[in-house]
Amino acid sequence: MARKRGQTLQVKVPAPLDANEAAQRAFEHDRPLTTHNFVEGEHPIVRIEHLNKTFDGTTQVLRDINLTVWPAEVVCVLGPSGSGKSTMLRCINLLETPTAGHILIEDQPITGLAKAEVNKLRQNLGMVFQSFNLFPHLTALGNVMIGQTKVLGKSKEEAEAEARKQLEAVGLADRADFKPAQLSGGQQQRVAIARAVAMHPDVLLFDEPTSALDPELVRGVLDVMRDLAKNSGMTMIVVTHEMGFAREVADRVVFMEDGVVVEQGVPAQVFDNPKNQRTAEFLGDIQ
């Protein structure tokens, strides 16, 4: 798999595997690479099988990605810009449509779902965006409530109680009535996290949640994410450039480059003793 930068890789998009067979193989392959403490008999919550993504029919951004995520596992995805990390993440909740391959959430294949089922699926996959994407016409409280009332069909009172609880959890209980424009970037991102968590999804997807923030605001957001990782029991897939965070919090670190998963493993191994030359170079550049 090792190759030099700039070397073009002719990947023939493989025929999708049978879902069960693929799952079996992935299961055997990925298991030892994480610090996650398995429960006996549990199934992976996210399985990505031979995922390929091509933009405009020419630009291939994902090449044969295979990844399995276990319930309550925290996976950090690292890699240089343009390596396809975000695209992979966006494929998981179908913000991007995979060109080829399988994605299974809780053993259910999600490619080719009808619209209504896609909406149902996304309720289970919370997403936090790089640019927050709060709804500017709603207050912080409204942002956290709207998914609960409009999608989950909760009553206003129930939703508000939940929203206040989640705002408190991210340390913004006192900012409930503020509009997004009146909050700092870090506060906005914390509201966005509260918005995602309030839906009680099975999986939380973070798409470079701190990349758009001024350095002094990053820490507050990471604190919130760390708390979630250690205490909520939620499955998290975090695309990030925060090496310290990944080393401290992740059960497993995945390193991607040029649309390929180059290396994955427990943080200590990947950071301190990378098997792959590119990983080493990248980590060297960063540190």
Partner 1 sequence: MHFAHTNVRGRAFVALVLSCLGLIAVLAATPAQALTTNKATARPNQEGGNGVVGGIDTRLTWEGTVGDDEQIEAITLELPQGSSFAGSTTRVTVLDGLTRIPIEGQASDTDERLVVNFDNPVPAGSLLRLEVEGMRFAEAGGDCAVTGTYTASGSQHELDSSDSITVIEGTWLQRAVAVLDANPAVEAWNSNQFLGMFFKPQLILTSLFSLFPGWLVCLVIVICAYPFAITLGLIFALMKISNNVVLRAIAVVYINLLRGTPLFLQIYIMFFGLPMLGINIDNNILGVAVMAINSSAYLAEIFRAGIESIPQGQYEAAASLGMGRLQTMFNIILPQTIRRVIPTVTSDFITSYKDTSLLSSVGVMELMMFAKNATSVSGNITPYVTAAIFYLIVTLPLIKVVGIIEKRMARSERGSGPRPKLTQPTVTTEDAEQVEGAQSVLPNDSTDAGVLMAQAVRAAVGGDING
Query: Partners of 78 in the beta sheet?
Result: 255
Asked if 119 is part of the footprint of partner 1 (rule: CB under 8 A), the reply reads yes
Residue range at the interface with partner 1 (CB under 8 A); choices 45-53, 220-228, 252-260, 275-283: 220-228
For partner 1, how many residues bind (rule: CB under 8 A)?
62
- Out of 75, 127, 246, 270, the residue judged to bind partner 1 by CB under 8 A: 127
Identify residues 6-45 at the interface with partner 1 (CB under 8 A).
none
In the complex with partner 1, the residue whose CB is nearer, 3 or 200, is: 200
Q: Are 73 and 30 in contact (CB under 8 A)?
A: no
Residue type, 62: L
Kindly tell me which residue out of 174, 268, 277, 286 binds partner 1, with binding defined by CB under 8 A: 174
DSSP 180: G
Residue in 13, 17, 19, 95 binding partner 1, rule: CB under 8 A:
95
Selected from 220, 259, 267, 274, the binder of partner 1 by CB under 8 A is 220
Out of 47, 53, 175, 278, the only residue in the binding site for partner 1 (CB under 8 A) is 175
Residue 184: what residue type? S
Contact status: 108 vs partner 1 (CB under 8 A): no
Among 3, 27, 109, 219, binds partner 1 (CB under 8 A): 219
Calculated CA dihedral for residues 241, 247, 253, 254, nearest 10 degrees = 30
Quote the CA–CA distance of 88 and 264 in Å, as a whole number: 15
Rounding to the nearest 10 degrees, give the CA dihedral for residues 78, 81, 84, 85: 30
Three-class HEC string of 73-91:
CEEEEECCCCCCHHHHHHH
**Minimal CA–CA distance to 188: which of 226, 237, 229, 139?**
139
| From candidates 134, 250, 253, 270, binder to partner 1 by CB under 8 A | 134
Contacts of 270 (CB under 8 A, 6+ apart): 253, 255, 263, 264, 279
Residue closer to partner 1 by CB (options 192, 260) is 192
Residue number with CB closer to partner 1 (185 or 265): 185
User: Cβ(75)–Cβ(237) under 8 Å?
Assistant: yes
Q: How far apart are CA 48 and CA 266, in angstroms?
A: 19
Write out the residues near partner 1 by the rule CB under 8 A. 93, 95, 115-116, 119-123, 125-127, 129, 131, 133-137, 139, 146-147, 150-151, 165, 168-171, 173-179, 181-187, 192, 195-196, 199, 205, 214, 216-217, 219-220, 222-224, 226-227, 230-233
